Amino acid sequence: MTLADDGVTTEAVLYDVNDDGVAIITLNRPDRLNSWGADISAGVYAAFDRAEGDPDVRAIVLTGTGRGFCAGAYMGSMAALGESIDGDTDVSKIVGERHPHFLTTLRKPVIAAINGACVGIGLTHALMCDVRFAAAGAKFATAFPRRGLIGEYGITWILPRLAGWGAAADLLLSGRTFFAEEAAQLGLVKEVVPPEDLLPRTLEYAGDLARNCSPASMAVIKRQLYGDANDDVTDVSARAETLMHESMVRPDLIEGITAFFEKRPPNFPPLTEL
């Protein structure tokens, strides 16, 4: 992490890997509640690519610094962009080269530690993570209809799957603010914890995955989760049977069973191409 002379961090996105093999990706524009702009998008893509390609990384945590996880699109950038192209706003210049659903295509589990305001495209990114923890009192909102916008970049696909049709319709149509506690009741977050416990608890969870779960198994399960979402159950079951046969010839299975009987932590091999 590079520091300026005044001690203020200069990177928009921070990256670290702990001893458990968990990569920690931190949005680092606290002065604007980590609102999404070109600086953050470029850093996020680079960080996730780095984590995905590192065999020592087995799980990924996404969080933010300060009072915000990601408070939507950076409106300063939006205003400047609108002026520069005569109001014909090309939002891809703000969103970046990838839509939030790229998180679902990663082979490694992504866990969000939602430390504060989670709004708009920030909420969409959080929902595209595989598991979410939130700090007590953190604010959430889709906000789209209150800005004259629509459900963006796949949120109308993921939100009903997590919260149900009725809750998704309420949150999308009203754009109202709700808090971490309601988010947990709706199934949008796994746990709500005191703010000071958020990152330790999330890292504890991610560390358990990294230490005790087969990287190959998690990669295939992610592919099943998102790939099976719209398929007929007969097709899904048939495909799962094929994947099961493939898993039974990988060394992960022998290691998992041996570790269970020997009452020791498993030593699964790093993730390779499947």
Give residue limits of the domains in the chain.
13-85+93-210, 214-262
Give residue 132's pLDDT. Answer: 98
Statement: residue 253 has pLDDT above 80: no
In this structure, of 115-124, 225-234, 236-245, the range with the lowest mean pLDDT score is 236-245
CATH class of the region 13-85+93-210? alpha beta
| 68-87 residue pLDDT tens | 999 988 877 555 444 444 44
Query: Which range among 87-101, 110-124, 167-181, 224-238 shows the weakest confidence by mean pLDDT?
Result: 87-101
Dihedral (CA of 158, 162, 164, 166) sign: negative
- What's the mean pLDDT in 55-72? 96
C-alpha 272/C-alpha 265 separation (Å) is 21
What are φ and ψ of residue 237, in 5° steps? -65, -40
Q: Answer yes or no: are the C-beta atoms of 37 and 49 closer than 8 Å.
A: no
Encoded amino acid at 215, one letter: P
Is pLDDT above 60 for 186?
yes
**Least confident interval from 148-152, 171-175, 178-182:** 148-152
For 129-214, where are the E strands, in sequence order? 131-135, 139-141, 178-179, 191-193
Report percent pLDDT > 70 for the chain. 81
Between 223 and 254, the higher pLDDT residue: 223
User: Is residue 144 scored above 50 in pLDDT?
Assistant: yes
Predicted model pTM:
0.84
